[in-house]
Structure 1
Amino acid sequence: MSGTVRVVLVENHQMVRVGLKEMLAEYPTIRVVGEAEDAPEALRIAESLAPDVVLSEVRLGSTSGLELCHDLLTWCADARVIMLTVHDDEQYLSQAMHAGARGYLLKHISGEELVAAIHRVHAGELVVTTTAGHEASTVTRIESGEYWPGGRFGLTLRESEVLSLIVIGMNNHAIAGHLIVGEETVRTHVRAIYRKLEVNDRTSALAKALREGLFQ
C-alpha cells in the first residue's frame, strides 16, 4: 500500500462516525477529509471535496446508502464507494453492487482489515466480507454478474435460498417452516428451480447445484 487515500465517512450514528474517524486517524495512509450523517449532506461534501473513497452505511435513517451510491457515482464518477454495514444480507449486497459499490464490508472487521480494504478498493479491486466466510466465491460470482448462487441460471434470491436448503437435505415441510411460508409456496419455488436448472427432480437439482459449485 502506498499513497494517502482521501475518505469521506457517511454514517447517521454520531458515535459510530466519531469512532471510525478516530480509528482511521491512527493510520497515516488514510485521511478522513469529510463526514456526513445522511445522503444529501454526503453528496454535497463529495461534490466539493472529490474524495477517493466514500465509506457509507447501507441504511442511513430516513435515507439510503444504496441510493447515495448511485447518485454519488453519477456526479463523482471517479469515487469508489464502500458499504460498511451491520447488514450481512445478500439482497443488500446485490443492490449495492448494482448501484456501483466496490466494497461491502461488515462492521465486525478490524481496523487493519478496514484500512487494507480501503486501499484495495482504491486500487480497483472488489472487496466483500461475509460472516459465512465465502468471500472469494462471493466476489467471483459478483464479478461474473451472479449476485447470489444460481443467479446465472435465472434463479431469484428466494429460489436460491430454497435451493440451498434442498442442498442441506430439508424437505418442503421443513423449508416452509424455516422460511415461515406455506408448503404450496415452497412447491412453487421448487418447480421454478427445476425448470431453470433444466432438471426433473430433487436429486438432479441437488447434483447440478453441487456440480456447478453453487454452494460451498
Structure 2
Amino acid sequence: MTVRVLVVDDHPLYREGLATAISAMPGKTVVGEAGDGDEAIRRVEELSPDVVVMDLHMPGTNGVEATRAVTALDPAPAVLVLTMLENDDSVFAAMRAGARGYLLKGSTGAEIGRALDGVANGEVVFSAGIAERVLAFFAGGPARREAVPFPQLTEREREILDLVARGLTNAAIARKFVLSDKTVRNHVSNVFTKLQVAGRAEAVARARDAGLGGPADEA
C-alpha cells in the first residue's frame, strides 16, 4: 500500500524539502502541498490523502483548527503534526483536535517515515519526549496539571484570553463580565506579560494554537 501524503507548512523551503524527502521514502507519495490551514482543508477535500503532515503555527487558520476541520471530513485523513512547538498546551490541543501523531521538527527522516506508516495504519505516534508527557498525563502525573492551557494564567485571565482569541474588543469583554474598561485592560496587559507576547495578534495566535478561541462573538 502506498501512503498518500499532503504536506502543510507555511515556510516554502521547509515544506518543499520535506515533500522531497517524503517522496523519496519507500511506499510514500506526496499528492500535494499547502501553505496554511485554509488551503490545507481545500486540498484535503480535493485530493483525499491518507495522511496530512501538519504544522501548527501558521497564519490565518492554524494547524489545530485545520486538524479539527479535516478530521471531521468523511473520509478523514490521519493527521501527523510536525512542529517546533513542544509545550503541553500545543500537544494536548492538537490531540483534542484529532491528530494521531505529534513529532517535533528535527525528527529524522526514518522517524518521520515510521510515523507516517503508523498513523496511516491507525496507530498513535509521538516523539519520545512528547510520549513521556502524554503517558504521565494519563497516569495522573505532572503533565495532567499542565493540561489546562496556560496554567500560569488565573482562571479569569484565561477566560479573557479566550474572548480575545474569539475577536472581542476590550469594551465588549468589559460588558460581558460587567467590569470597567480599565480592569479589562489590566487583565489583558497581565496576560500579554505572562505569555511574553508583544501584542494582541501574537496572543491570539498562541491562544488558538492551544485550542482557545472560536467563532467571534459580539465585538
The normalised TM-score by structure 2 is: 0.63
Q: Which moved more, 1:113-122 or 1:70-79?
A: 70-79
Residue 7 (structure 1) aligns with:
5
Shift of 1:59: 1.0
Contact 1:81-1:101 within 8 A present in 2 as well: yes
Amino acid at match of 1:138: R
Q: Counterpart in 1 of 2:144?
A: 150
How many pairs align? 154
Equivalent runs, 1:21-170 vs 2, <5 Å: 21-129=19-127, 133-141=128-136, 144=138, 149-151=143-145, 156=148
The letter for the 2-side match of 1:24 is: I
CA contact (8 A) 2:8 2:34 kept: yes
Secondary structure of the residue that 2:135 maps to in structure 1? Answer: helix
Amino acid across the alignment from 1:9: V
Q: Following TM superposition, by how much is the alpha carbon of 1:25 offset from its aligned partner in structure 2, in angstroms? A: 1.9
Q: Which residue of 1 aligns with 2:17?
A: 19
SS in structure 1 at match of 2:44: helix
Max Rg structure: 1
Gaps spanning 5+ residues in structure 1: where?
A: 161-179, 182-216
Q: Structure 1 residues 159 and 75 mapped into 2: Cα distance closer, same or farther (>3 Å)?
A: closer
1:29 partner amino acid = G
- Provide the secondary structure at the position in 1 that maps to 2:93: helix
Q: Which runs of 5+ in 2 are unaligned?
A: 153-192, 195-219
Q: How far apart are the structure 2 equivalents of 1:147 and 1:85?
A: 24
Q: How far apart in 2 are the matches of 1:30 and 1:37?
A: 20
The percentage of aligned residue pairs carrying the same residue is 33
Q: CA 1:155/1:128 → structure 2, altered by over 3 Å: closer, same or farther?
A: closer
Map 1:165-184 → 2, pairs under 5 A: none
Report deviation, 1:41. Answer: 1.3
1:100 and 1:135 map into 2 onto residues whose CA distance is 16
Q: Deviation of residue 118 (structure 1)? A: 0.7
d(CA) in 2 for partners of 1:48, 1:148:
42
RMSD: 2.6
Change (3 A) 1:138 1:65: same
- C-alpha distance in 2 between matches for 1:17 and 1:119: 19
Given residue 71 of structure 2, which amino acid in structure 1 is its aligned partner? L
